[in-house]
Amino acid sequence: MDVVLSGIRATGHLHLGNYFGALRNFVKIQDKYNCFYFIADLHSLTTHPHPEDFHQNVKIILTEYLAAGLDPDKCTIYVQSDVPEICELYTLLNMLAYKGELERTAAFKDKVRKNPENVNAGLLTYPVLMASDILIHRSSWVPVGKDQDQHLEMARTFARRFNNLYGTEVFPEPHAMDPVGGPVKVPGLDGNGKMGKSEGNGIYLCDDEKTITKKVMRAVTDAGPKTPDSPKPEVIDNLFTLMKLVSTPDTVNYFEEKWNDCSIRYGDMKKQLAEDICKITLPIRARIDDIANDSSYLHRVVSDGRDKARASASATLEMAREAIGIKRF
């Protein structure tokens, strides 16, 4: 059975971008493939989080993964730092990753521009650690957002380079797995393009009804259409994009018609949008507190996940070591 793997950096609560961009898709496929979902806590160390926040962030993602419907009986859920085999593979792959190609990575250049005072080696080799995450289970499919395409391309490059150099087929080339119907880009409602934590425009799975409504009602709009059937400016298109994710087709059509005949009232549309977001997120939110308070359940999930992940990881590592010529005396 094909291996599917994805992960998320442990930097805080999950927002609708994470949910519709990837998580909802994971939940749907978790019993159709051999699925691994992990929390990338080591990756989050590039920004030197406070030790207490570090653990808290892992717990938040774990809890929200489970609340959103990831089922530890169907897939393997684990914490990256619990699986030391990933770090060993990272060391091995670092020997095949060139400084120039790492420096040319868009995400790296972006970080250098934004935080010139913290250009550490972990940041430079972020794609190598990510490739190790993927290759350690010999994954074929990685459901992630478009923004990770370049990182995935690098994982393929490292896999191919390893296989060619050592004349093996240890690593299959991993590919992006798009949700049924194509990739989903969740827009921000502040005219900022995508929804993201660093963009500061997130609507979170843990937000209550009042917070969600407030965020949606604040969405940037324009003065309204002047002529029938006119194209939508980006901020309005964003409202519709989000609506298509959370509302019924009838609701979307209703507002499309209102847009087309210039009778649209953004206030009504936002109210509907907020309501429909709540319909999807509030059941998840309701589970978050219960799960977060059940520490024996969380402990069980993480330790079962670690055992399963380590069994798979050590088998791959054994093959990689053998291919390289690392032998036991």
Q: Which residues are catalytic?
A: 111, 194, 197
Q: Length of the chain, please?
A: 329
SS3 for 100-131 is: HHHHCCHHHHHHHHHCHHHCCHHHHCHHHHHH
Question: Of the candidates 2, 81, 91, which has an alpha carbon nearest to the alpha carbon of residue 38?
Answer: 81
Distances (CA, A) of 22 to 16, 32, 37, 164, 180: 10, 16, 11, 32, 11
| H helix intervals, the chain | 16-18, 24-29, 51-67, 84-94, 99-103, 106-114, 121-124, 126-135, 149-166, 209-217, 234-246, 249-260, 266-293, 295-324
In angstroms, give the least distance from the CB of 56 to ligand TRP.
18
Work out which of 3, 4, 7, 245 binds ligand TRP, going by CB under 6 A.
7
Q: Which is nearer to ligand TRP, 3 or 274 (CB)?
A: 3
Interacting span for ligand TRP (CB under 6 A) from 7-15, 183-191, 212-220, 243-251 = 7-15
Binding mask 141-160 for ligand TRP (x = CB under 6 A): -x-x---x--x---------
| 6 belongs to the binding site for ligand TRP (CB under 6 A) | yes
Q: Which is nearer to ligand TRP, 146 or 244 (CB)?
A: 146
Binding mask 11-50 for ligand TRP (x = CB under 6 A): -----------------------------x--x-------
| 9 belongs to the binding site for ligand TRP (CB under 6 A) | yes
| 136 belongs to the binding site for ligand TRP (CB under 6 A) | no
Q: Which is nearer to ligand TRP, 15 or 43 (CB)?
A: 43
In angstroms, give the least distance from the CB of 40 to ligand TRP.
4
